[in-house]
Structure 1
Amino acid sequence: MFELSLVIALALAFDFINGFHDTANAIATSIATRVLSPAQAITMAAFLNFTGAMVSTGVAWTIGHGIINPHLIDNRVISAGLIGAIAWNLITWYGGLPSSSSHALIGGLAGAAAAAKGLVALNARGLVEKIFLPLFASPLVGFGTAYLVMGLILFLVGYASPRRLNSSFARLQILSAAFMAFSHGANDAQKSMGIITAALLAGGEISSFRVPCLVIIACAAAMALGTSLGGWRIIRTVGSRIIKLEPIHGFAAETTAAMVIITASLLGSPVSTTHVLSAAVMGVGATRRVTAVRWNVAGRMVQAWLLTAPAAALVAGAVYNLLGVI
């Protein structure tokens, strides 16, 4: 019972940290363009993160089954995986790097499971088809789609004066930020739901993988609470250090990212909201000129993206072995 309680506590802690780590995903561009005040943006994001988390559990099922075989692992494995993911999230938050909580969680679980049972504990097909392909393809889709969306917007309204464009898109960006916050909750909060449900199944508390209502509410609330605190270091990186944003750019980036993320959620595919939005911001910036994007900042972000899963896996494997000694 202690191990199950520890998993639940760690999963909710991960959701909370995910909330303030990934607050930037929904509101960074709105704050950077001064469409919303920080307080307004965070309040809206927290509410819509909670609402989005209540809409489906397809991603939760994928997380519970697609990474590791729930019948071959125990709650010590899940605890170690969560600790690895939390550790990497805190490291990247301190450095102000918008890395992926999804990659950290998947890497942590895979590393702990491999340390416990070897590679046989990993669901190879699920990892490739339902996890890695969507995770790596979604930023590319976000970049390309944002480039096209921004180009289409400029083609349709580019003749208008900058002042008129900023005034119109400032209002529209409130809607796009709300859409982004909703989609973030719909995808990211489900990951902890999947972990807790897998732990309940491993502990014999439930007979089949079905997310209990209380788990949905608890994970949604934990993410909303974390979001309400705001991840200011990462907000600055996404909102101003990649490109200089105007409301028209923020609207295009947020709308594109939200469409990609909500589509993935409906398909039950976990994606990195951080990667998708950051790539969308780069895509929007590239429509100005290639040099408009601060590629040195983008390069640091990509390095963090590539390091996230293996780093979290190594930490989780070490934690699993340490828990065995204790």
Structure 2
Amino acid sequence: MEITIMVALVIALALFFDFTNGFHDTANAMATPIATGAITPRKAVALAALLNLVGAFLSTEVARTVSGGIIREGSDGVLITPEIIFAGLMGAILWNMITWLKGLPSSSSHALFGGLIGAAIAGIGIHSVNFTSLMQKVIIPAVFAPLIACGVAYLATRVAYSLTSRHNPETGDKLTQRRGGFKTGQIFTSSLVALAHGTNDAQKTMGIITLVLIAAGTQQAGTGPQFWVITACALAIAIGTYAGGWRIIRTMGAGLTEVKPAQGFAAEASTASAILASSHLGFALSTTQVASGSVTGSGLGRRGTSVRWGTAGRIAVGWLFTLPAAGIVGALTALLVNTGVIGVVIAAVAGTGAVLYMFIHSRRSHVGHHNAIEVEDAGTAVRFATKKSGRKPGRSKELQR
């Protein structure tokens, strides 16, 4: 097989991974505002898609981390080959599809790194992986970012409820709380998360395509992504975001804890802050882990709300197995593609068949915008063009608690 055909195949596979990243991680930005009724599901994912597109053009630091930080470059060129990158992408895509089918908000980023590392070790050797960079830019942020986001969201939720608490000055009795303003605020904070997601996650695919171009000798080592790469990746993740990822939206919006507007506002603000800071520093952060930590923290911060620790445990198990599971698939695929053209064809056909099987299987219990989350008065905070209802925004007392 000619190298140009292999490069084209890897680029196409990378863009498909970018697409799966988009629909897999939509929940990070839009699950909580959908759950609280701040915005309708279709409008939420459309807004997230637009902001993911914009965010992809704002930074390339994470792309440089992926293209030149995780896999070592030899003195006479890059150690990794397009075939190895193909194998790594196969591991990442299959794990993304499995977790999407199960509704688990696992990390697309860690699936990508796991697939690449497993493929590189099996196809080249353990010396091909820069474990120092992996530890500093991936592992350490993965451990501390969700914990920090959880703590910040907890404090922000407590502060939000404390500042907006209303009591009768004479009797001290608790009055009906008016926190409808947080619904409108959620539109801003969730939009910021979507923008931040574009600045971080789209960069990973840019880095992969840049890496394969360097490996093929068509781009100089140490350089950043070309403009056409940035544009293609931005469009792929935006289209994937618009596709929805409703199964994971259900888990994030209602599976971890009951979310109210003030909680959602606090969770999204802490998520966006962490992701934007990591993008600036070039950390390949998992937006899924940060968002999950923030939602959990907001649940702990609101009195009378319980966190569904069973669901949190399932998510944690998904996190724990993401790197090794994607790595195993990547390694097995690397061993197969190293046998030659036939191995590449077998891997491509098998991977395509697995993706199609999971998609067809998902149709048996379809989850879409109509049943992802049961929400009362959905979209009451922001009405773009709907005037059918006579009720004014903020009338639902239950949703404003």
State the TM-score, normalized to the length of structure 2: 0.79
The Cα of 1:154 is off from its aligned counterpart by: 2.0
How far does the alpha carbon of each residue in 1:19-54 deviate from its partner, in whole angstroms, 9 at most, with x for none? 001111110001111110011101100000000111
Misfit runs of 4+, over 6 Å: none
Match of 2:196 among 183, 188, 191: 183
Alignment coverage as a number of residue pairs: 325
The unaligned stretches of length 5 or more in structure 2 are 168-174, 344-401
Q: What is the aligned partner in structure 1 of residue 62 from structure 2?
A: 59
Q: Percent identity?
A: 48
Alignment of 1:257-276 (within 5 A): 257-276=271-290
Structure 2 SS opposite 1:36: coil
Q: What is the aligned partner in structure 2 of residue 196 from structure 1?
A: 209
The Cα of 1:159 is off from its aligned counterpart by: 2.8
Amino acid at match of 1:68: I
1:247 lines up with 2:247 in the alignment: no
Q: Which moved more, 1:100-109 or 1:62-71?
A: 62-71
Structure 2 SS opposite 1:292: coil
1:100 lines up with 2:100 in the alignment: no
Alpha-carbon distance in 1 for matches of 2:176, 2:154: 19
2:164 and 2:177 in contact (8 A); partners too: no
How far does the alpha carbon of each residue in 1:131-170 deviate from its partner, in whole angstroms, 9 at most, with x for none? 21112211111111111111222222233755520x1111
Amino acid at match of 2:278: A
Structure 1 SS opposite 2:224: coil
Q: What is the aligned partner in structure 2 of residue 279 from structure 1?
A: 293
Amino acid at match of 1:8: I
Amino acid at match of 2:183: A
Q: What is the aligned partner in structure 1 of residue 226 from structure 2?
A: 212
1:180 and 1:258 in contact (8 A); partners too: yes
Alpha-carbon distance in 1 for matches of 2:53, 2:190: 15
Structure 2 SS opposite 1:128: helix
Q: What is the aligned partner in structure 2 of residue 113 from structure 1?
A: 120
Alpha-carbon distance in 1 for matches of 2:118, 2:166: 53
1:67 and 1:131 in contact (8 A); partners too: no
1:235 lines up with 2:249 in the alignment: yes
Amino acid at match of 1:217: T
Match of 1:224 among 238, 242, 249: 238
The Cα of 1:291 is off from its aligned counterpart by: 6.6
How far does the alpha carbon of each residue in 1:163-202 deviate from its partner, in whole angstroms, 9 at most, with x for none? 520x111111110111010001110000000000011111
Alpha-carbon distance in 2 for matches of 1:298, 1:217: 36
Alpha-carbon distance in 1 for matches of 2:199, 2:206: 11
The Cα of 1:275 is off from its aligned counterpart by: 0.6
Q: What is the aligned partner in structure 2 of residue 148 from structure 1?
A: 155
Alpha-carbon distance in 2 for matches of 1:143, 1:236: 20
Structure 1 residues 205 and 162, CA, compared in 2 at 3 Å: closer, same or farther? Answer: farther
1:23 lines up with 2:26 in the alignment: yes
1:66 and 1:131 in contact (8 A); partners too: no
Q: Which moved more, 1:67-76 or 1:301-310?
A: 67-76
Alpha-carbon distance in 2 for matches of 1:55, 1:299: 35
Alpha-carbon distance in 2 for matches of 1:288, 1:175: 21
Q: Which moved more, 1:69-78 or 1:14-23?
A: 69-78
The Cα of 1:84 is off from its aligned counterpart by: 0.2
The Cα of 1:288 is off from its aligned counterpart by: 2.8
Amino acid at match of 1:43: A
Amino acid at match of 1:299: G
1:300 lines up with 2:314 in the alignment: yes
The unaligned stretches of length 5 or more in structure 1 are none
Structure 1 residues 162 and 256, CA, compared in 2 at 3 Å: closer, same or farther? Answer: farther
Structure 1 SS opposite 2:178: helix
2:18 and 2:237 in contact (8 A); partners too: yes
Amino acid at match of 2:301: T
Amino acid at match of 1:33: T
Alpha-carbon distance in 1 for matches of 2:176, 2:309: 26
The Cα of 1:289 is off from its aligned counterpart by: 5.0
Alpha-carbon distance in 2 for matches of 1:132, 1:170: 35
2:18 and 2:233 in contact (8 A); partners too: yes
Amino acid at match of 2:329: V
Amino acid at match of 1:126: S
Structure 1 residues 290 and 248, CA, compared in 2 at 3 Å: closer, same or farther? Answer: closer
Structure 2 SS opposite 1:140: helix
1:34 lines up with 2:37 in the alignment: yes
Match of 1:172 among 185, 195, 207: 185
How far does the alpha carbon of each residue in 1:54-92 deviate from its partner, in whole angstroms, 9 at most, with x for none? 101000011112221241110111010000000000000
1:316 lines up with 2:330 in the alignment: yes
Structure 1 SS opposite 2:338: helix
